[in-house]
Chains A and B, each alone.
Chain A
Amino acid sequence: MTEPRLTPALRPLEGLGRWVIVAVESLGRFGSFLALALVTMVTPPFKVAALLGRIHYIGFRSLLIILLTGAFTGMVLGLQIFFTLSRFGSEAFLGPAVALTLVRELGPVLGALMVTGRAGSALTAELGIMRITEQIDALTVMALSPMRYLVAPSILAGIITFPLMTALFDVVGIFGGYLVGVKLLGLSAGTYFGEMQTFVDMGDVMMGVWKSISFGIIVTWVCTYKGFHVAHGAEGVARATTQAVVLSSVLILVWDYFLGSVLP
Chain B
Amino acid sequence: MIRVSGLRKSFHGQAVLNGIELEVPAGSITIIIGRSGGGKSVFLKHLLGLLRPDSGRIEVDGVDFTRLRGRALDEVRKRYGVVFQGGALFDSMTCRDNVAFPLREKLRLSAAKVRHRVDIALDRVGLAGIGDKYPEEVSGGMRKRVAIARALVTEPEIVFFDEPTTGLDPVLVNTIHRLILELHRRSKFTAVMVSHEIPEIFEIADRVGMLHEGRIVEQGPPAAIQESANPIVRQFIRGEPDPPA
Chain A residues packing against B (C-beta within 8 Å): 133-135, 137-138, 140-144
- Given the known inter-chain contacts A141-B48, A141-B49, please indicate yes or no for A134 contacting B77, CB distance below 8 A: no
B82 at the interface (CB under 8 A from A): yes
A140 to B90, CA, bound (A): 13
- Given the known inter-chain contacts A133-B86, A135-B88, please indicate yes or no for A140 contacting B50, CB distance below 8 A: yes
Report whether A142 and B105 are in contact in the complex, using a CB–CB cutoff of 8 Å. yes
Chain A residues near B105 (CB, 8 Å)? 142, 144
A133 to B162, CA, bound (A): 13
B64 at the interface (CB under 8 A from A): no
10 additional A-B residue pairs with CB within 8 Å, beyond A134-B88, A140-B49: A133-B91, A134-B86, A135-B89, A137-B84, A137-B88, A138-B82, A141-B50, A141-B80, A142-B105, A142-B106
Q: Closest residue of chain A to B76, judged by CB?
A: A143
Q: Closest residue of chain B to A138, judged by CB?
A: B88
Report whether A134 and B74 are in contact in the complex, using a CB–CB cutoff of 8 Å. no
Chain A residues near B86 (CB, 8 Å)? 133-134
A142 to B90, CA, bound (A): 13
Report whether A135 and B90 are in contact in the complex, using a CB–CB cutoff of 8 Å. yes
B228 at the interface (CB under 8 A from A): no
Quick one: CB contact mask for B142-157 with A, threshold 8 Å, 1 for yes?
0000000000000000
Q: Which 5 A-B pairs rank lowest in CB-CB distance, beginning with the nearest?
A: A143-B74, A134-B88, A138-B88, A143-B77, A134-B84
Chain B residues near A137 (CB, 8 Å)? 48, 50, 84, 88
> How far is the CB of B18 from the nearest CB of chain A, in Å?
23
Report whether A141 and B82 are in contact in the complex, using a CB–CB cutoff of 8 Å. yes
> How far is the CB of B43 from the nearest CB of chain A, in Å?
15
Chain B residues near A140 (CB, 8 Å)? 48-50, 77
B164 at the interface (CB under 8 A from A): no
Chain A residues near B85 (CB, 8 Å)? 134
A140 to B50, CA, bound (A): 8
A137 to B74, CA, bound (A): 13
Chain A residues near B48 (CB, 8 Å)? 137, 140-141
> How far is the CB of A36 from the nearest CB of chain B, in Å?
12
23 contacts between A and B (CB under 8 A): A133-B86, A133-B88, A134-B84, A134-B86, A134-B88, A135-B89, A135-B91, A137-B50, A140-B49, A140-B77, A141-B48, A141-B77, A141-B82, A142-B77, A142-B82, A142-B101, A143-B74, A143-B75, A143-B78, A143-B106, A144-B102, A144-B105, A144-B106
Q: Closest residue of chain B to A126, judged by CB?
A: B92
A141 to B91, CA, bound (A): 17
> How far is the CB of B193 from the nearest CB of chain A, in Å?
15
Chain B residues near A134 (CB, 8 Å)? 84-86, 88
Chain B residues near A144 (CB, 8 Å)? 102, 105-106
A202 to B215, CA, bound (A): 69
A19 to B88, CA, bound (A): 36
A141 to B51, CA, bound (A): 12
Chain A residues near B90 (CB, 8 Å)? 135, 138
Chain B residues near A133 (CB, 8 Å)? 86, 88, 91
Q: Closest residue of chain A to B86, judged by CB?
A: A133
Q: Closest residue of chain B to A47, judged by CB?
A: B105
Chain B residues near A138 (CB, 8 Å)? 82, 84, 88, 90
> How far is the CB of A149 from the nearest CB of chain B, in Å?
8
A138 to B82, CA, bound (A): 8
